[in-house]
Amino acid sequence: MAETLGSLCDKLTIVKLKQYHTVDEERLSSLQLQQQHLIDEIDEFVSDAITGLIPVKKLTFNANKVFKQEGNEVQEIKGTIGAVVSKLAEINCLLWHEQEKVYDFEKVPGLEKNRVVKQLALLNLKRTKCIDEIDGSFSNIITEKAANNE
């Protein structure tokens, strides 16, 4: 997948989750390095977009998820970029804990298994919507800035 602001923010929230759930010093050191690389990459991406080094058409990369719509409805994600990044972090936290159940899936009660799988699917749809919303909002900001400078 091409890197976008949304995908970089997604990666950063996941690194932060890994840091929170890790006690191993060597792993924490590696995660700290990953975090700094992602922060630098986000800063560079935003700067390059503002200066026009990244064409507007490359600021978005919609997931175009193919899935059965009926029964898999999720609410639209709207708000400022900061608010949507916060929502993305929240969704990734929920995904983390739901995914933990899958690692010991044989311990999940039979009737609960379908709910876990369904919840993972819905959370992933929400995650994708957040990423797309971040990308779309950022693209709109850059497009408006370019139009105002002409």
* Angle between the N-to-C axes of helices 81-103 and 110-149, in degrees from 0 to 180, rounded to the nearest 10: 160
Count CB-CB contacts under 10 A for residue 142: 20
SS (H, E, C) 65-83: CCCCCCCCCCCCCCCCHHH
- Please report the pLDDT score of residue 1 as a whole number: 39
Q: Where are the domains of the chain?
A: 5-56+76-149
pLDDT at residue 64, rounded to an integer:
63
Cβ contacts of 18 within 8 Å, gap of 6 or more: 27, 31
Q: How far apart are CA 149 and CA 69, in angstroms?
A: 41
Q: According to the model, what pLDDT value does residue 111 have?
A: 83
Q: What is the pLDDT along the chain (150 residues), one digit of tens a residue?
A: 369 999 999 999 999 999 999 999 999 999 999 999 999 999 999 999 999 999 998 999 866 666 666 676 778 889 999 999 999 999 999 999 999 888 888 888 888 888 888 899 899 999 999 999 999 999 999 999 888 877
Total-model pTM: 0.87
What gap in Å lies between CA 108 and CA 114, rounded to an integer?
A: 10
